[in-house]
Structure 1
């Protein structure tokens, strides 16, 4: 057997890479992980974790107003972006340290420099050192896309949002996906004038149509503006530092900040994959089989760089399955069916399983149950904002094949309900469950 410096060398210390590395080490492998930026990856450093903290901060705008209706003598409050920004960044520092310590505690060597694949078992480091490994794992994640239009360099992406020196008064957000709608809600609550510009005619493709339409309606009532079917033409920077944004089919918009949230591409370029014989698809994603193996037998890939399902929990599952299968003698594969997802908009939405449209196309005969209600808290607060819960049922078997909801705490409620959908429970099983009253979640067992 050939001798290598490491049993496993992981490139990228994000969610998938960290999980795979520490589990492989726990199975007895000698493991190193190279990270050129910060340990923790997109989710921890510049994605879902700091963004969720901004969402929490944004919620206080409405909570403070509502508190007066509940008897609290809350004075007019001002918001200090720099305080929240710095506290969020400090928490990111804490989490990076915790992730680094976790790797160290599992005897994983952390190499803080860029690594490039030089062959099936060879890796070149930025310092000039070359190392060898029995297996190489690519876990480099994905990177925000920037449209190829004149002046695009004047915009930023979600990576830079967390470091803005001051709160922009006017924000234009390009895109209609979850990142665009989440940041629209955040900055709108902070008091910025927000406009979403989308090149297509809809937001949140892939989510249930009624649910995403409800978010659009609520967002517009909250003051967020939308420009649909409006591809960018150019962006100009004015003398005062502001931007003038030109689009097809509508008047230019002036803004203080332009955020591109137009998708993410696999971060596979410049690390020697094609030269090493690793197949990439037309989007640059690493092509892998069901066991995360690439076209080179000794090289594997997990997470967003494979562009299968770009979600942190999925990357973690893939990393676990890889390590258990290759180093643990416990082969298993990730089940990509019935994955729950959420958009932390204002209000948030969440879904699992098939949408109504998908179910009609696949199953033909379905039943749709729904509850359109105003949460108790909103009633007393004087808010007309309504929640919507939908259940999609296979008419032939009575099995619940989809749950979709928008309203306060929708993601927290859906996580437990997703277990029932994954388990294949029937509508009758929901009906047989006693309601927990008074709660919003009880609507799930009272759907008509």
Structure 2
């Protein structure tokens, strides 16, 4: 066998497709469902639920404005049913897409024995191996942790919890809090340190006040014990509500632990070509740590595949755009390689403007917020926090500008699609150039 890929999440699926397109022989092995965590337990599930909460949020606004009178009756059971139905359709499409480039897909749990991969009682030798086994929710070592839900359980619960304690302070914790508070749960978020430290203080303040105002945020707090319907904090407080762990991810690296070198956090150690410590074994996606994002996993999988096929390729992580899927998206990007001194930094903050999905928010002053930090000497962007219905596309465009190290004058000929990318026009063309 020329190439074996273990794991069909974004890294493994795109890596195997890239190899197939390059005319290579590929066997893709998947333990559970094709498309991995993203489709089956992660971001696609979050996006599906957030589509519903956006509708609820808009309906509430329109009722308050008085031009629509409606009541919403929510069936969580039906929501789950339709998400599962959609997932099955997408799995079929993903499988057809992979097989269309000549790849073979095997479902079963793989193990590695030297230059051989074993699955379903069969053994396959390989010339190159790509390990893309992903990660799973990290469960803190506290008493009663078995009572806690994770993202893997979202489609297993049968009703909306009356009260929910989200344990964690990052993006996933915020997204879960937004979903269930909109669906009617009383939600606490318990962050071990600072909540949403990935974004700037002004953007965070907007999210807390305008997007998740009914969520109770408790910072610098540890949970010492979990129960089925409450948690106990390290300072003795008892908070009613089902525990939900959003405390990070741990790599599924056990398959490779005696074969390739691991980092101290048990992620698989790779170089910029996604090569492990073994010459013909590569790894990509969440199992390697770093940015645990679907686009990054895709990029890593494709990079690994090209190198496996003999086309030298390196991965770069500068200016990675990220987003929070909320009732109004909050997206952000930072140029980690910027060497701009503080004296040359210039920051502007502007309220959101009327664009797609924003018009009716003007009446209540909830059109979003954007903050941009510039390198005024070199005429470049250092950082962006953007909260608006179009922030995901806006920040994706602008992150490319940052990643390519373009001068802002090069952006002067950008022609926006009204109203979708008007934010780019206002931020870059009107306020800076």
TM-score (norm 1): 0.88
Taking the aligned partners of 2:206 and 2:407, their CA distance within structure 1 comes to: 26
Aligned mate of 1:235, from 209, 226, 239:
226
Show the counterpart of 2:204: 212
Deviation at 1:186, TM superposition (A): 0.8
Q: Does residue 60 of the first structure (1) align with residue 55 of the second (2)?
A: yes
Higher mean C-alpha deviation, range 401-410 or range 14-23 = 401-410
Q: 2:316 aligns with which of 316, 325, 335?
A: 335
Paired position in structure 2 for 1:372: 351
SS in 2 for 1:233: strand
Alignment of 1:110-149 (within 5 A): 110-119=105-114, 121-125=115-119, 127-149=120-142
Consecutive unaligned residues of structure 2, counting only runs of 5 or more, are none
Distance 2:208 2:330 in 1: 12
Gaps of 5+ in 1: 1-5, 238-242
What is the CA–CA distance in structure 2 between the aligned matches of 1:99 and 1:438, rounded to whole Å?
Answer: 33
Counterpart of 2:257?
Answer: 274
Q: After superposition, what is the alpha-carbon deviation per residue over 1:166-206, rounded to whole angstroms, capped at 9, x for unaligned?
A: 11111111101111101111111111111111111x22223
8 Å contact 2:6–2:29 — kept in the other structure? yes
- Cα deviation for residue 391 of structure 1 reads 1.7
> Shift of the alpha carbon at 1:219?
4.6
User: What is the CA–CA distance in structure 2 between the aligned matches of 1:370 and 1:224, rounded to whole Å?
Assistant: 25
| Aligned residues of 2:170 and 2:198 also touching (Cα < 8 A) | no
Instruction: Please give the alpha-carbon distance, in whole angstroms, between the structure 1 residues aligned to 2:42 and 2:419.
Output: 34
Match of 2:160 in 1: 167
What CA distance in whole angstroms lies between the structure 2 residues aligned with 1:337 and 1:50? 28
Q: Report deviation, 1:129.
A: 2.2
Question: Aligned pair in 2 of structure 1 residues 77, 381: CA closer, same or farther (>3 Å)?
Answer: farther
| Counterpart-to-counterpart distance in 2, 1:57 and 1:215 | 19
Question: Closer, same or farther in 2 for the Cα pair 1:432/1:315, shift >3 Å?
Answer: closer
Q: Cα distance 1:432–1:33, how it changes in 2: closer, same or farther (>3 A)?
A: closer
The aligned counterpart of 2:238 is: 252
385, 391, 401: which one pairs with 1:410?
391
Residue 69 of structure 1 and its aligned partner are, at CA, apart by 6.1
Q: Is the 8 A contact 1:392 1:400 kept in 2?
A: yes
Q: Does 1:21 align with 2:2?
A: no
In the alignment, which residue of structure 2 is the partner of 1:314? 296
**Does the alignment pair 1:104 with 2:88?**
no
Tell me the distance in 1 between the aligned counterparts of 2:294 and 2:225.
34
Cα deviation for residue 412 of structure 1 reads 2.8
Q: What is the number of equivalent residue pairs in this alignment?
A: 427
Superposition map of 1:62-77 within 5 A? 62-68=57-63, 72-77=67-72
Structure 1 window deviating more from structure 2 (426-435 vs 110-119): it is 426-435
8 Å Cα contact 1:23/1:323 also seen in 2: yes
CA distance in 2, matches of 1:379, 1:316: 36
Distance in 1 separating the partners of 2:41 and 2:276: 27
Q: Name the stretch that deviates more: 330-339 or 51-60.
A: 330-339
Choose from 242, 266, 285 the match for 1:284: 266
Change (3 A) 1:218 1:360: farther
Residue aligned with 1:180, SS: helix
Find the counterpart in structure 1 of residue 430 from structure 2: 446
Q: Is the 8 A contact 2:63 2:70 kept in 1?
A: no
Distance 2:177 2:350 in 1: 26
Q: 2:272–2:316: 8 Å Cα contact kept in structure 1? A: no
Shift of 1:401: 2.4
Write out per-residue CA displacement over residues 41-77 of structure 1, whole angstroms, 9 at most, x where no aligned residue.
1111111112111111111111112234666433222
Q: Secondary structure at the match of 1:156?
A: coil
Going from structure 1 to structure 2, the CA distance change for 1:177 and 1:153 (only over 3 Å counts) comes to same
TM-score normalised by length of structure 2? 0.91
* 3-state SS of 2:127 partner: strand
Task: Give the secondary structure class of the aligned counterpart of 2:237.
Answer: strand
Deviation at residue 111 of structure 1 after TM alignment: 1.3
CA distance in 1, matches of 2:67, 2:210: 26
In the alignment, the residues of structure 2 paired with residue 45 and residue 380 of structure 1 have an alpha-carbon distance, to the nearest angstrom, of 33
Which residue number in structure 2 is paired with residue 203 of structure 1?
Answer: 195
SS of residue paired to 1:213: helix
Q: What SS does structure 2 have at the residue aligned with 1:223?
A: coil
**1:396 to 1:12, Cα distance in 2 relative to 1, 3 A:** same
1:188 has 2:181 as partner = yes
3-state secondary structure, aligned to 1:140: coil
Aligned equivalents of 1:426, 1:368: Cα separation in 2 = 17
The separation in 1 between residues aligned to 2:187 and 2:410, in whole angstroms, is 43
Aligned match for 2:248, one of 244, 263, 276: 263
